[in-house]
Chains A and B, each alone.
Chain A
Amino acid sequence: MSEQHSARQRDERSPADPGPIAASMLGLTGFCLFYVGAKLLAIPLPHYLPLEARFVLSVSEGKVSMGYYAMIGFGLIGMLVGIIVGSLPPIRRWAEQDRSRSMLGLLTLGTLVLALGYYLVVELWL
């Protein structure tokens, strides 16, 4: 077996760095919470008016408007918040334990399922 292959195997089996994992998980959790929160709490986000090619804060009745761009931006802000929180030293230390990482994984999974389920139900049935 070549030395390069052995090194690759060692690299693949080494435990992952908890820092990026915690930041990633909390980043996705932040996105989902902000993205769902924007609709659930009716947060007043800017709307784009495609016929006038400009953003406005409030839309008058009957105008064709798009809130999607601002919602994505709001979700990305949530992701940034999650990444920053996940990069804090106490969180990184906490995420070094297997049990904490599992909890973080399940929390992220729960938030993701909640976000996907929320938009499926709200858009199709409500």
Chain B
Amino acid sequence: MIVFESLAKPLLLLHALASLALTGAVTHNGLIAIRQLFGQATKTRLQKLYVKLAFYLYVPSFVLGLLIYPAFRVRVRAAYLDAAIPLAKRLFEVKEHWLAIGLAILLVYYPLSRVIDVRRRDGVTLMYNVFGIALALIVWLSTIVGLLLVMQRSI
């Protein structure tokens, strides 16, 4: 018996909904980070809200992904993708690794957003803004790959 297999579809739906909202939050935050990278330290309070939202959406979405992963690994990846579409399997691996790194980014990005002064121009603020842009890229890549995989075969 595969753990959480009977709940896989509703969990996948929740995972997709959380990811959709997350994509919105990190995109807004990423756009503000791009402006800040070029010296426009605007919308700092709004940015803190987006980072907070991203944190509270990313973590549940990630955990939901972990819960449905065993069912996906057996019923979709091993049963179909590995042999039929090797590129999809490889893209999925990139998505998973990047999401794990994205989680690590967010675990430091969220607390950092509460103490950092984005008006300072140093390596820390540079890195802070790159974190925001990297998170947006990671989530966009993951959302697109996730949708492409579901189009091929779902749990």
Contact = CB atoms under 8 A, between A and B. Distances in A.
Interface of A: 12-17, 20-21, 24-25, 27-28, 31-32, 35, 48, 50-51, 53, 64, 66, 68-69, 71-72, 75-76, 79, 98, 101-106, 108-109, 112, 115-116, 119-120, 123-124
Nearest to A121: B94
Secondary structure at the A interface, as helix, strand, loop or mixed, is helix
Contacts of B123: 101-106, 109
Question: What does DSSP make chain B's interface, helix, strand, loop or mixed?
Answer: helix
A105 B117 contact: no
Contacts of A109: 123, 126-127, 130
A50 B73 contact: yes
B64 interface: no
Interface of B: 1-3, 44, 66, 69-71, 73-74, 78, 90-91, 93-94, 96-98, 100-101, 103-105, 107-108, 111-112, 115-117, 119-120, 122-128, 130-131, 134, 138
